[in-house]
Structures are given as C-alpha cells and as structure tokens.
Structure 1
Amino acid sequence: MQGKRRTLKLLTALLVLLIVGLMAGAIHLQKNSNALWQIINEKCLPNMAANGKPAPCQQVNRAQGFVTLKDLNGPLQYLLMPIEKITGMESPIILEPTTPNLFADAWQQRALLAQKSGAPIADSALSLAINAQYGRTQNQLHIHISCLRPDVRQQLDALSPKLNAQWQSATLRKHRYQVRTLSVAELAQQSAFIRLADEIPHARSEMGKYGLALAQLPDGRLALLALERNWLKLNSGSAEELQDHKCAILAQ
C-alpha cells in the first residue's frame, strides 16, 4: 500500500511539473518575446541617430552600451537594456569582460524613479531584478529598476546583521535565495553576472537557471541576491518577485 502511495505521489508531482512547463511555454508563445528588442533596434536607436531623440526610450547611451525605457507596468518602473542583442542570463556574452557592467549601470540609473515621481526616493525603497531564462517573457536582457516590496524590505533589515561577503542561504517570498553583501565600489568593479558565475558552484555552466536582484541594506551596503530555478518547488527563477511595481513602500 505504501509503495502505491509513493508511486501516486511521484506521478502527481510529475503531472504538476508537466502542467507548469506547458503553462510557461504557453505564456511565451502568446507574447512577442522580441518586443523589447524591436523597440530598441527599430525605434530608439534609429530615432537617436536621425534626430538625437531616443523616444520611446528615455535615453540611448552608446558610450556605455545601454538604453533605458519606462516600463508600462507600474507608475515608476524602468528597464535598463543593452544596445547589443543579448537574450538574457543564459547568454555567454554577459560573462565576457568587454560586456558593459549592466547591473552597476542600472543602479546608477535609479534616480529615474525620483525624476518620474517628482520627489526624492530613498535608496532603501529601490531594487534591481533580472529574471532567469524561464522566468521571463522577453528575449532581450532587461534589468527591472523598481520599488522593493515592503515585506522584503523588513526581511532584509532583519537579515542585515548576519550578512557578509560570503554567500548565505535565506528564504524570501517562500523561495530560497543565496545572498551576499558588496559595496557600491565592488558593484562597479566587477559585473554581478561574472561574480555569480565565479562564486557559486556550477553557476557558470547553468547561468540561465538564475535570477538576480539587488537592494540596499540599512548600513549602506548592497545585498546581491541569486535565485536558482527549481521546478520541483514551482520556482521559475523570477527574482522580480521581490519588487513591487505599484511602489506601496513609498506610502509608508
């Protein structure tokens, strides 16, 4: 009897995984996964070249190799994307030393949210996130610059005294993250993608499984958070789950 129950549980788990996989595939099929790249390549870059205006992008920074775009989701959310065609976390291009330090660039662009809101925004309310290969709908690398969830803010504040430059496990939004601290200078010195590939075992060969997020800690340090996709736990690697695009934290 126990053997039959174990078999039934295993079959149920496999069925759930199959359904989740089919749902993820359906989402990708329903949406134009190249929409962001088309905006960059067919609108922002040509408009900037023709008349010096980056619309619909907010800016085209050829020197640093990125564009910024106001996302339709949320009043303040922006996206930072490379000018080069880079699909996402799984692309080997992100680990090349010559590739722009996009995470550092995105953190430097956080002032866009304050400009949009018309009022200063504390860094403690802000965050960056990029989703794993199967936790996204677009095949152009894009870093979400948005507000941090209030409950995640509280969790990070509580974790802060225990965090250091070594990767540690922590549960946020019911998912297991690897978290380490770094300074703003360290963020600028080395790509967060390369740091992940070099420091977490086996990550370099499986980068597409990872999502990354960044938020400030109460003492001014930065927390880099890595989320590995795990279908058995219904986790698609969407680090964007730590963000709140409605920015409820600003009302506190």
Structure 2
Amino acid sequence: MKRVLLGAAVPAMLAAGILLTVARASGPARLNNDPNVLWSIVHDRCVPNQAGENTPAPCAAVDTDRGYAVLKDRRGLAQYLVIATDRVTGIEDPSILSPAAPDYFGAAWHQVDRSLARLGHTMPRETMALAINSQYGRSQNQLHIHIDCLAPNIRVALHWARPQIGHGWTRLVLNDHTYRATRIDGNSLDGAYPFRRLAASLADPAREMGEHTLVVVGTVWPGGRPGFILLDDMVKPLSGDRAEGEELQDHACRIGHFEPGRAIQEQPYQQAMLPD
C-alpha cells in the first residue's frame, strides 16, 4: 500500500518546451488515437439523436441546456464520462472559467448513481471519485470528467489524511506523486466549481491550467459532515508525472467487493436513479 505523507513544496514549474517534450513522448497509443473521438460521438450522434429521436444513444444522457452528455466508457464495469456538449478542449480551455460556464463537476457527481447501478449496490461516498486529466495526461481533446471507483489504497490514505485537510491547500503524496488537497463542504458539488478554485490558487491561470489535473473524492469529515476532498497535481517532467489524476481511480472497481454490505451504515451516496 502506498503511503500518504505531508510533503514539502515541489519544484517550480518547468519551461513549456520541456512540457511539450513530455506530452509528445507519452506513448505510441496517444499518437495513434484520434483525439476527437469523444467530440464526434457527442456532437455527431448523441446530441442529434436526442433532438431528433428523443433518445441520447449512444450516450446515456444528454442535457444541452446544462452543457453536458453522459457516456459509458469502454473501460471498466462502472466508468462513465461527463462530456461537454460545446467544443471545449479540456482543463486549459479559458471558457471553463467564464461566469456562464456549465457546472461540469456538479453535473458529474449527480451521475455517480449510474456507476453504482452498474455495480449492483450502493457504496459510501468515500469510494467514488471524479477526475479530469491535464492537457499532457489525456488522449482526447474534448473536456470530459471520469466517474468511477476510487482505488482502495487511495481511500485508506485519504481517510487518515482528513484531519490535516482544511480550506487551504495541504500537500499529500499519493501513488508517489505530490498532490495538493483542499476541503469542500456539502452533500453535492453544485456551485463548488473546482476549476475556479484551482484557478484562484495559480499565479497565471491562462498559462498554467493545462498543466494541472483535478480529482474530487467524496468524504465524510470528522464530526460527520459530508463533503469532498479536492486534489490537484501538476505536470513534473523530470519525474514523468503527466498530471493524470485518473491514476487515483480503479477502473476494475475492486473496492466494490469490499464494501457493499456496509453502505447504509456509512451514509451512502443516494439520489433518484436517472434513466439510461
């Protein structure tokens, strides 16, 4: 099991040229894949099908008023993606910081029950996570948030780290990568706007946002208040860290084998199921 440590500050961000080198060297699969597949699925199929035939297929849901579609990912039993229906490239896109931007993370948390339905049982909110990868840690150039189970070792690590996490930023080491963590209170993410929280902590958001990843994990704070842990990592070329927060999720959802009988006692995440 990986350890969670309160770490020292990481080195300052390196030059953009080095970052580009890391991105280009990130593997043959990245170079061979079409980075516009998600955009094509949502724009050319899901949105027109919803408008013309009142069915979102192949997506599970389309809400153009709120600016997102929901698609079952091919990987994993329970992984879904919340995808922007407008042309938004990713975390670096300046439109996500607009006052009129859709509440993508708020929408994504409302889709957690889809993942739980695939597993066949509910689970504590601490077992589920949302993740968006950095510009250098993704294969698709259309904003999408991964919804899936949290890796078991990360759940244990965050459980013990909770007392040290406040409304400022606290450094944690997770999977050998240095993250920053901050606290969000509330049962839902509606109006929490993690993108804006990240931008507010950066000296130059327009330049820096693309080098960051965000992960949101459900939690229950000491004392029993529901909330979330917001995690941020940034690209570190020398260590090979591409800021791919999806690494903290487990697409095999092994945690689902450990916890189904404890869901009700541990304040499970419960909402009305949305139709597929």
Identify whether the pair has TM-score above 0.5, normalized to the shorter chain. Answer: yes
Aligned residue among 229, 234, 248 for 2:235: 229
Tell which deviates more after alignment, 215-224 or 29-38. Answer: 215-224
**2:185 is equivalent to residue 183 of structure 1:** yes
Q: Is the 1:157–1:218 contact (alpha carbons within 8 Å) kept by the matching residues of 2?
A: no
1:156 paired residue number: 158
Higher RCO structure, 1 or 2 (CA under 8 Å, sep 6+) = 2
1:241 paired residue number: 247
**2:104 is equivalent to residue 102 of structure 1:** yes
Looking at structure 2, the residues matched to 213 and 18 of structure 1 have their Cα atoms a distance apart, in angstroms, of: 23
Tell which deviates more after alignment, 110-119 or 37-46. Answer: 110-119
**2:122 is equivalent to residue 120 of structure 1:** yes
Q: Is the 1:47–1:54 contact (alpha carbons within 8 Å) kept by the matching residues of 2?
A: yes
The residue matched to 2:76 in structure 1 has which SS?
A: coil
- Would you say how many aligned residue pairs link Structure 1 and Structure 2? 237
1:130 paired residue number: 132
The residue matched to 1:189 in structure 2 has which SS?
A: coil
1:61 paired residue number: 63
Looking at structure 1, the residues matched to 201 and 99 of structure 2 have their Cα atoms a distance apart, in angstroms, of: 16
CA gap of 1:76–1:186, structure 2 versus 1, over 3 A, is closer
The residue matched to 1:143 in structure 2 has which SS?
A: strand
Unaligned runs of 5+ in 2: 1-17, 259-276
The Cα shift of 1:203 comes to 4.1
The Cα shift of 1:119 comes to 1.7
Amino acid of the structure 2 residue aligned with 1:56: P
Q: Is the 2:184–2:192 contact (alpha carbons within 8 Å) kept by the matching residues of 1?
A: no
2:217 paired residue number: 215
Looking at structure 2, the residues matched to 136 and 25 of structure 1 have their Cα atoms a distance apart, in angstroms, of: 11
Looking at structure 2, the residues matched to 199 and 186 of structure 1 have their Cα atoms a distance apart, in angstroms, of: 22
1:12 paired residue number: none
1:108-140 CA-to-partner distances (Å, cap 9, x unmatched) read: 111111222232222111000000001000000
The Cα shift of 1:25 comes to 6.4
The residue matched to 2:213 in structure 1 has which SS?
A: strand
Normalised by the length of structure 2, the TM-score is: 0.81
Looking at structure 1, the residues matched to 205 and 21 of structure 2 have their Cα atoms a distance apart, in angstroms, of: 27
1:134-182 CA-to-partner distances (Å, cap 9, x unmatched) read: 1000000100000000000000001001111101111001000010001
1:88-114 CA-to-partner distances (Å, cap 9, x unmatched) read: 011101111101010111111111112
2:197 paired residue number: 195
The structure in which a higher percent of residues are helix is: 1
Q: Is the 2:165–2:182 contact (alpha carbons within 8 Å) kept by the matching residues of 1?
A: yes
Amino acid of the structure 2 residue aligned with 1:238: E
CA gap of 1:215–1:70, structure 2 versus 1, over 3 A, is same
Looking at structure 2, the residues matched to 230 and 53 of structure 1 have their Cα atoms a distance apart, in angstroms, of: 43
**2:79 is equivalent to residue 77 of structure 1:** yes
User: Is the radius of gyration larger for structure 1 or structure 2?
Assistant: 1
Amino acid of the structure 1 residue aligned with 2:151: R
Normalised by the length of structure 1, the TM-score is: 0.88
Aligned residue among 24, 34, 37 for 2:39: 37
**2:142 is equivalent to residue 140 of structure 1:** yes
CA gap of 1:62–1:151, structure 2 versus 1, over 3 A, is same
Identity of aligned residues (%): 36
Looking at structure 2, the residues matched to 232 and 135 of structure 1 have their Cα atoms a distance apart, in angstroms, of: 15
Looking at structure 2, the residues matched to 248 and 185 of structure 1 have their Cα atoms a distance apart, in angstroms, of: 24
Q: Is the 2:132–2:245 contact (alpha carbons within 8 Å) kept by the matching residues of 1?
A: yes
- Write out aligned runs for 1:19-34 (5 A): 20-24=22-26, 26-34=28-36
The Cα shift of 1:186 comes to 8.2
